Amino acid sequence: MLATFGRVLGTEPDVATVDYLRRTRGEAFEVICQPVPAPLPGKFHVIAMFDVLEHIEDDRGALAWVSDHLEPGGIVVLSVPAFRFLWTEQDEAAHHFRRYTPDELVNVVPESLTIDHVSCFNTLLFPAILAVRTAMQLRRRKNRPPKTHLGIPPEPFNWLFYRIFRLERHFVCRLRFNLGVSILLVARRRLAPA
């Protein structure tokens, strides 16, 4: 979808994942194997980081790196998992360093970026997800390795949850929600002084 707007470049630090992408997607998508931060070939109009920042120990440094790779006026769009009280073994298995509150996320954005929008999302399903994650916390056994996820719910639950989640697309970019499972942030690289 993004390719209809211009050149798209993906980065992925795991060699096996890059190989898998190339085997399954061919050369349709340009993907380079490197971590954040590492030099990118040029500057970009948009950088998207969806559920990436929580995997990077130096989140401030990562966002400074993003800013350095944006054209003046360029946009970063990112999502991160929300709220430490939702932490479960899924976060540990996924190698997360943290979950954020909206204010914590705003506080790691460098001054070279102007925040256009910040909001929680996955708000409508928040009560159900809170219940599941609370149960996971209570049932966690310390002597077993963490699990990555619960899997896809059976139909028709998956169909219903997907439809509920999709409803938020009409609101999340215009309104600010203070509660949700994830956080969306859109920021813009300041224009160079004249």
pLDDT of residue 77: 97
7 lies in some domain = no
- DSSP type of residue 96: -
The per-residue pLDDT for range 81-134, each reduced to its tens digit, is 999 999 998 899 889 999 999 999 999 999 999 999 999 999 999 999 999 999
Beta-bridge mates of residue 183: 80, 120
> Is residue 117 situated within a structural domain?
yes
Count of domains for the chain: 1
In a domain, 6, yes or no: no
Q: Please tell me the predicted confidence (pLDDT) of residue 194.
A: 44
Query: Domain residues for 111?
Result: 35-189
pTM of this prediction? 0.89
In this structure, are residues 180 and 122 in contact, taking their beta carbons and an 8 Å threshold?
yes
Specify burial of residue 27 (Cβ count, 10 A radius: 0-12, 13-18, 19+): exposed
The three-class DSSP label of residue 95 is coil
Q: What is the DSSP string of 105-155?
A: HHHTS-TTEEEEEEEEE--TTHHHHHHHHHHHHHH--TTSPPPS---PPPT
**Residue 11 domain flag:** no
For residue 9, is it within any domain?
no
Task: Tell me if 46 is assigned to some domain.
Answer: yes
CA distance linking residue 63 with residue 108, whole number of Å: 7
Chain segment 8-64, per-residue pLDDT in tens? 888 888 899 889 888 888 777 788 888 888 888 889 999 999 999 999 999 999 999
Strands 70-81 and 44-50: parallel
Identify whether 151 is part of a domain: yes
